[in-house]
A = this chain, B = another copy of it.
Amino acid sequence: MKLINFDHISANPLLPEVKQVMIDAINGDYHNPSSQHSDGDAAAALLDAAREATAGLIHAENPKEIVFTSGGTESINHAIKGVAMATQGKGNHIVTSNIEHNAVIRSLKRLKSFKYDVTSLSVDSSGRINPEDVEKAITDKTILVSIMHSNNETGTIQPIADIGRIAREKKVLFHTDAVDSVGVVPIDVRELNVDLLSFASNTFYGPTGVGGLYVRRGTRIFPLLEGGVQENNKRAGTENLTGIIGMGKAAELAARDMDARYRHLLDLKRYFLAELPNYIDEYIINTHPEHSLPHVASVSIQYIEGESVMLMLDDAGFAVSTRSACATGSLRASHVLLSLGLSHADAQGTLVLAFGLENTTDEVSRFLAELKNIVGTLRNMSPLYKNTTG
């Protein structure tokens, strides 16, 4: 049975127009865009068009500043490790935050094993970094600041332009993981003062396994994948033409429809948050009320375990994500939620709702009714809850 998808951080469906250009690409029998003879020309033109559309979505000055990758994870690894390799001998210090995605965390952990020092900044209880903390953390050894644009567990958006201004003043390269933002909220790489920005096609209803890294012209970075001269010598390997064409179309549509999509998603979230107290009590909202993605709401429901809620919602026909330790396969509670000051117990009861273009207010309403029943059932079984209220 197909669930109603309130887990759009994990997956977005392909838009019909995106499907069509991908199917056309598959049926088009294109040759290698790097081939020497004329049969590669058509593929090369399609790559160029996708690059222009993608550059347009983030307002890059030049399409050549877009490096196509196999997705957000590759982009992030490329940005962090590529800058570290290119600045060998110039410094070994990197500034980041406590709430980054695992792709950032694990890339930095790898660098630490090669004698890099990492300063990881705390967020305040609203989930935001103080730009002044970035300024204080930068030393003469600092080669890179990497702070995410929006958080994948809470949807909270960071003051990236302010952080970027500081990094630029200090002449330190600045990367932002914007995987959950690009195509959802307006992004202008020049206004954000970033040198490097990672994004993924599926966030804006393009295919999975495709993404990009914005590399501001003149940024010193080594390739992660080396070999041929594809992607202006920044990322070798024959291109995933079908995927890139799909991303180009998705980027074009996201730029065109951004305002309408934003309003629809924000309406769903506002409706959910306004109605929630009519259905359950004793919960914590982890998402910033103002500085956040329009479609994401993180809710820690007290005295219950998120995995149980997620599984019972699955049975009831709804797909959501939880940050409970069991469900995420980690041994401890979410590092993001603990950084916000949540207790382990409250973190365990966290659901992440991420609404999508195809969702409706009626679906949210039906969801709330199911949630009320499930939370009631689980709390009645919970010794913690009885201890508190009985």
Contact = CB atoms under 8 A, between A and B. Distances in A.
A252 to B, nearest CB: 18
A33 to B, nearest CB: 9
A183 interface: no
11 contacts: A3-B38, A5-B39, A10-B32, A22-B242, A72-B237, A73-B225, A88-B113, A200-B238, A207-B240, A209-B237, A242-B243
Interface stretch (A99-107, A255-263, A292-300, A381-389): A99-107
Contacts of A136: none
Interface string A200-239: 1010000111100000000000101111110000001111
A85 interface: yes
Interface of A: 1-3, 5, 7, 10-11, 13-14, 19, 22-23, 26-27, 29-32, 34-40, 69-74, 76-77, 85, 88, 101-104, 106-107, 109-110, 113-114, 200, 202, 207-210, 222, 224-229, 236-244, 307, 310-311, 313-314, 319-322, 327-329
Nearest to A242: B207
A321 B35 contact: yes
Contact of A70 (B27, B70, B319): B70
B11 A32 contact: yes
Given A31-B5, A202-B238, A102 B36 contact: no
A39 B2 contact: yes
A332 to B, nearest CB: 15
Contact of A208 (B38, B202, B240): B240
A10 B31 contact: yes
Nearest to A330: B229
A37 B229 contact: no
Contact of A39 (B208, B319, B322): B319
B207 A319 contact: no
B23 A35 contact: no
A239 to B, nearest CB: 6
Given A73-B236, A110-B222, A209-B240, A10 B35 contact: yes
Contacts of A243: 209, 240, 242-243
B7 A37 contact: yes
B23 A26 contact: yes
A209 B107 CA distance: 23
A227 B103 contact: yes
B227 A76 contact: yes
A106 to B, nearest CB: 4
Given A3-B38, A37-B319, A39-B3, A225 B314 contact: no
Contacts of A32: 10-11, 208
Contacts of A40: 10-11
Nearest to A80: B226
Contacts of A327: 36
Nearest to A34: B10
Contact of A228 (B102, B225, B244): B102
Given A209-B241, A226-B77, A102 B35 contact: no
Given A22-B242, A207-B240, A243-B240, A37 B70 contact: no
